[in-house]
Chain A
Amino acid sequence: MKTEEIQAQIISEFAAFDDWMDKYNLLIEMGKDTPMIDARFKTNNHLISGCQSKVWLHAEYVDGKVFFTADSDAVITKGIVNLLIRALSGQSPDDILATDLGFLDQIGLKEHLSPTRSNGLLSMVQQMKLYAKVFKLKAGN
């Protein structure tokens, strides 16, 4: 699926809920499906610096597509990490670089990506895009 389709799908999954607590319940549940980062990558090298919750991220490049695995020590953060991975994992570097992840705004989670939220998610998005850029450059050689 293209990232736009996946993002639209996520929006519709959240559209079923009005109540904030229900949305966060869904998010927490979704966090449990996060493609788990291999234990050997769960090191400081893979840690995304954020003030309050920790996020570890790893990426691999297979057949022109980027695949992400991750983990977090906070379950809400992990839920959002999983949304980002669903949206971006398995996409081409060009598609990853092009998308603006507007779905987070539509499901009311954009605040988590604001620079004032010291939870590292903004850095996570930047890191995912950086991986895409690097893989693209390497593939170009």
Chain B
Amino acid sequence: MPDVASIRKLFPALHQEVYGKPLIYLDNAATTQKPQQVIDRLVDYYSQENSNIHRGVHHLSQKATLAYESARVFIAGLINANHSHEIIFTRGTTESINLVASSLGNLLMQQGDKVLITAMEHHSNLVPWQQLCIKHRGELLVTRFDETGTTDLNHFKELLTRKPKIVAIAHISNALGTINPIQEMIRLSHEQGIPVLVDGAQSIAHSAIDVQQLDCDFFAFSAHKAYGPMGAGVLYGKTKWLEKMPPYHFGGEMVDKVNFTETTFNILPFKFEAGTPNVEAVLGMETALKFVKEIGYENITAHEDALLRYATQKLMEIEDMKIFGSSPHKAAVISFQIGNIHPFDMGTLLDKMGIAVRTGHHCAQPVMDAFDVPGTVRASFAVYNTFQEIDTFIAAIKKASAMLA
């Protein structure tokens, strides 16, 4: 188990009061707080290294370029990519998915073609594919989940027989916490020769990723959900795809030779990184992922699983509690509703007691529709959360429920 007390000390934002109460931050699926070393990394970059990368012959530019490219190498190692040029820096998960939907999508899709997703996707892994299908007058195939929020693998297999061109699936659902059996889903898709994109937005902070073992074709994540800065993320892609795919954005940095009639494009990964990137956020992302690696994914998962079990058990003791998502494989995300209490009311009162949770549809409106609720209250845990915080959270829910009943 990680030493949570020491870990907490590294996070300045956790040590504040809101409305006179110590902050209890349980909105980690939306974004995590940042440890001091990540904050320092951003400041250090601007204090000592700032300059545009890949362009200058001067000292600072070389220093910044080296730092940026080292981050790529580190991240490639962390997720076990075959080559560092398989790591494309983006603004985050959403941009990573859009890149693939646009570039690979237009490469593979012909009129009437299909894309296969699941019913629990975040809008970021739904709308780009839906729009691609609309553009090609095709069809978006959607895998059902059952009442526990578990993906129906038989339905997935059935939909694969309809020969989608691309499969896109969340590793972990941000609304239900479900951990999808992606290894199996990737294997099944590959049997049909279909490439798979994994939306790893919710998994990168919580479970070790080995893209070669998973054999996924693409893996997308955001730094800010894993203790890193906003505005940076990664698209991992297999070389064989990235080489075939046309550029997504055009401009500086991603070109080789340019004249007024034609342009030849730069090699990987630069082909997909047009314009000046968010260098400081990429460096902050490297620092954040080093922090994660140092604690160790096994330790993080063990602690968060324990928090999840404890909180679930305590919540279930509350009258009229309904938890959405009880898949046997579940990450530390709990979506719930109590009786007829509106999530907005619960969220507002919890906020006044210093507790930050998410309320609403969590950018997964079809999931809410499936359970026929307008929204839920969602608590999501990170490595720095404690059992004591959960006790306070439970007491606060009871107090709010009594007021709202």
Contacts and interface: CB of A to CB of B under 8 A. Distances in A.
Contacts of A52: 343-344, 359-360, 374-375
A122 to B, nearest CB: 15
Contacts of A74: 342, 344-345
A24 B403 contact: yes
B352 A24 contact: yes
A53 B342 contact: yes
Interface in B356-405: 359-360, 374-375, 399, 403-404
B344 A76 contact: yes
Interface residues of B, number: 16
A94 B152 CA distance: 60
B91 to A, nearest CB: 22
Interface residues of A, number: 16
Given A28-B404, A52-B360, A20 B344 contact: no
Interface string A75-115: 11100000000000000000000000000000000000000
A28 B403 contact: yes
Contact of B19 (A20, A28, A51, A119): A20
B266 interface: no
B14 interface: no
A21 interface: yes
A75 B352 contact: no
Given A52-B343, A74-B342, A24 B349 contact: yes
B353 interface: yes
Interface in A52-81: 52-54, 73-77
A9 interface: no
B348 interface: yes
Interface of B: 19, 342-345, 348-349, 352-353, 359-360, 374-375, 399, 403-404
Interface of chain B: mostly helix, strand, loop or mixed: helix
B348 A76 contact: yes
Closest 7 CB pairs of A and B: A74-B342, A20-B352, A52-B344, A53-B344, A74-B344, A76-B345, A74-B345
Nearest to A52: B344
B348 A24 contact: yes
B89 to A, nearest CB: 29
Interface in A1-41: 20-21, 24-25, 28
24 contacts: A20-B353, A21-B352, A21-B353, A21-B399, A21-B403, A24-B349, A24-B403, A25-B403, A51-B360, A52-B344, A52-B374, A52-B375, A53-B344, A54-B374, A73-B342, A74-B344, A74-B345, A75-B345, A75-B404, A76-B344, A76-B349, A77-B345, A118-B360, A119-B344
Contacts of A73: 342, 374
A77 B359 CA distance: 14
With most chain B CB atoms within 10 A of its CB, the pick from A28, A51, A75 is: A75
Nearest to A118: B360
Contacts of B374: 52, 54, 73
Given A52-B343, A53-B344, A73-B342, 5 more contacts: A20-B19, A21-B353, A21-B403, A24-B403, A75-B404
